[in-house]
Structure 1
Amino acid sequence: MTKTRVTARAHTNIALIKYWGKRDTELFLPMNSSLSLTLDEFYTDTTVSLIEGNSDQFVLNGELQEIKEINKISQFIDLFRKVAGHQSAIKVESTNHVPTAAGLASSASAFAALGTALNELFELNFDQTTLSTFVRQGSGSATRSIFGGFVEWQMGTKSDGSDSCANKIDNADWNIAMLTIPVNTGKKEISSREGMKLTVETSPFYPAWVEQAGKDLITIKEAISQRDFIRLGEITEANGMKMHGTMLGATPPFSYWEPLTVKVLQRIREIRGLGLPCYYTMDAGPNVKVICQANQADQIKQLLDDTFPNNPTIISGVGRDAYILSAE
């Protein structure tokens, strides 16, 4: 190795066709394929450095992490060390420019940035698709944050996960934007992993969800290829609500929604009724995301901010591929 310190940046993504449930919890293999939009507003910067000793270090947002979190990061780094044939201890310094554990996909950008940095540090020269199979083992949605634009995560069929990977399907350079209404950016009571597991194991709605998600993926890819924004939005909104419906069928039932969430969804429908096409979706959290046309984003934001002045809407454009900021 010729490098000793590398910094990388990766952007978050919001799934339009949701990933919800694993068929293999060790390799993070999904029950269904998914599709997302990468956002430029939220991202993670991660620096990896070679250090002396036998123990890794992990600093998140300026705070040294506890041993449990360090062990999790070490296991992820081991994936790269094994291929590289190096046992060097690594210091990871990561800054999330997105609230952690609040349903805003911070884990996706975090592991995509870490994997991108390690790929460069260890000089592995993985292409993006191969790299996506590695970062998947830190966070499933990180698979998609390797790429910008509209990204498909193919579930794959192989038991070793080698074909469960992501690919960019469109640059999304046709007047696309995403709004985020931060209903609550505190830590969730039920993590995404816990919620997925409970839903898969107990919800009778879940098998129908998997079947329908496959159909939704086909139709949304058609909408993207035709640049049909209205159809894209309709499919996005329906798919997200179906995912949240599976949670109500779990035992015990649970929901990430809060009272303000419901009010925001109603307001978005009202805005759409004014002739401004915009469509909502939600990941595992109370925060609402709205896909809209970029040239109408400011107008929609103003209408939302007028209604919810204590929860100002954030506009995101389309994010780029994960990339190296510096290497030395």
Structure 2
Amino acid sequence: MKHIGKARAYTNIALIKYWGKKDEQLILPMNSSLSLTLDAFYTETEVTFDPALSQDCFYLNDRLQNKEQTKKISKFLTIFRNKYSISHYASVDSRNFVPTAAGLASSASGLAALAGACSAALSLELSPQELSKLARRGSGSACRSIFGGFAEWRKGDSDDTSFAVQVPASSWENELSMLFILVNDTQKDVSSRDGMKRTVDTSIFYQGWLTGAADDLELAKQAIAENNFSALGEVAESNALRMHGTTLGAVPPFTYWSPDSLKAMNLVRSCRMRGIPCYFTMDAGPNVKVLVQKKDQEKLYHFFSEHFNEKQLILANTGPGLEILKPERLMDND
């Protein structure tokens, strides 16, 4: 008998970054992190465990992926197979509404959606915490996309203690927006995985990063508890700059910044001088995200539209957590 499940998960953007692993196999992070889930980019994934299949197959945006591209998906599916005693191979059909590998958290939404779809297909009814642990095994930041709004990934020290939790924020999180400035949506020269490992292994600045990140997390949670936008923005911006600073101390040094990344960061500072409170952050890619209050989002968008093509600008609001959907194959039989 076939087992079919489908789920949608949204990207999250870390305000306090996860940067570095202490266990590559289990994907246990060196530091805890905090993110905001957003509604503009998402992944929908349908999984079919099928006894007729002789191997896993992976379709991304309706294209069958090759053996190397399917390898990561198969590895993740095997975690479910081993944990929940199912022997079937699976067909995975994923539609990614995120530019892949451009620093926009496509792996976070992708693996969170895959975890949710597997759980639904096997009728596991897993708790958000259990789903978060499983999503983490596919991509670290995916554990945070199980939740809407603010989420904290507690680093833990084992497979069972490393997972994300909701950060209480009442309705304040719904007053926040983020402007994505897509300066480049092509594949990165240095992947997040490779960049992290090089930084942890070789960067002279890395130990300072770990100390600062722990302090930053506490400041961010305090700002959220107090609904203090400027305090949250200031710590998010400084945390991003320090994360990217570690890459310059790696051997060999590297950076994810492009000339347009620097241009966007300088424009954010200009916005603040003009009285529009906003703060930038960047993940492992050249694209810049600007945190802003919803009441100021139109002014911010108008300012940046004078400097960037409007196709490069996308506004996002606070997004929901993982959503279980009705599979298309079942809908066809209604």
User: What's 2:24 paired with?
Assistant: 25
- Structure 1 residue ranges without an equivalent (≥5): none
CA offsets 1:210-230 (integer angstroms, 9 cap, x no match)? 111000000100000000001
1:6 and 1:295 map into 2 onto residues whose CA distance is 38
CA offsets 1:240-278 (integer angstroms, 9 cap, x no match)? 000000000011110011111111111110011111100
Contact 1:178 1:316 in 2 (8 A): yes
1:170 and 1:314 map into 2 onto residues whose CA distance is 26
2:252 and 2:310 map into 1 onto residues whose CA distance is 32
* Percent of residue pairs bearing the same amino acid type: 48
* Structure 2 residue matching 1:136: 3-state secondary structure: helix
1:208 and 1:215 map into 2 onto residues whose CA distance is 11
CA offsets 1:13-61 (integer angstroms, 9 cap, x no match)? 0000000000000100000000000010000000111331221110011
User: What's 1:208 paired with?
Assistant: 208
How many matched pairs?
325
* Structure 1 residue matching 2:138: 3-state secondary structure: coil
User: What's 2:186 paired with?
Assistant: 186
2:310 and 2:296 map into 1 onto residues whose CA distance is 22
Structure 1 range deviating more: 121-130 or 206-215: 121-130
User: What's 1:288 paired with?
Assistant: 288
Contact 2:169 2:224 in 1 (8 A): no
Which amino acid counterpart does residue 15 of structure 1 have in structure 2?
A
* Structure 1 residue matching 2:137: 3-state secondary structure: coil
2:166 to 163, 168, 177: 168
1:266 and 1:172 map into 2 onto residues whose CA distance is 32
User: What's 2:151 paired with?
Assistant: 151
Contact 2:6 2:120 in 1 (8 A): no
1:56-75 pair list within 5 angstroms: 56-75=56-75
Which amino acid counterpart does residue 127 of structure 1 have in structure 2?
S
Contact 2:230 2:277 in 1 (8 A): yes
1:152 and 1:212 map into 2 onto residues whose CA distance is 16
Which amino acid counterpart does residue 7 of structure 1 have in structure 2?
K
CA offsets 1:282-315 (integer angstroms, 9 cap, x no match)? 0000000010001111110110011112653110
Contact 2:3 2:122 in 1 (8 A): no
User: What's 1:230 paired with?
Assistant: 230
CA offsets 1:72-92 (integer angstroms, 9 cap, x no match)? 211101111122211111100
User: What's 2:37 paired with?
Assistant: 38
1:147 and 1:102 map into 2 onto residues whose CA distance is 22
CA offsets 1:158-206 (integer angstroms, 9 cap, x no match)? 3xx2110001113573211111000000000100001000000000100
2:280 and 2:316 map into 1 onto residues whose CA distance is 14
Which amino acid counterpart does residue 11 of structure 1 have in structure 2?
Y
User: What's 2:303 paired with?
Assistant: 303
Contact 1:10 1:110 in 2 (8 A): yes
Give how far 1:281 is off.
0.3
* Structure 1 residue matching 2:18: 3-state secondary structure: coil
User: What's 1:319 paired with?
Assistant: 319
State the TM-score, normalized to the length of structure 2: 0.95
Contact 2:199 2:250 in 1 (8 A): yes
State the TM-score, normalized to the length of structure 1: 0.97
Contact 1:181 1:311 in 2 (8 A): no
1:172 and 1:69 map into 2 onto residues whose CA distance is 40
Q: Does 1:118 align with 2:146?
A: no
Q: Does 1:96 align with 2:93?
A: no
1:300 and 1:285 map into 2 onto residues whose CA distance is 22
2:72 and 2:285 map into 1 onto residues whose CA distance is 23
Contact 2:41 2:97 in 1 (8 A): yes
Give how far 1:7 is off.
1.5
Please, what is the CA RMSD of the aligned residues? 1.2
Contact 2:44 2:95 in 1 (8 A): yes
1:172 and 1:195 map into 2 onto residues whose CA distance is 36
Contact 2:20 2:200 in 1 (8 A): yes
Which amino acid counterpart does residue 80 of structure 1 have in structure 2?
F
Which amino acid counterpart does residue 170 of structure 1 have in structure 2?
P
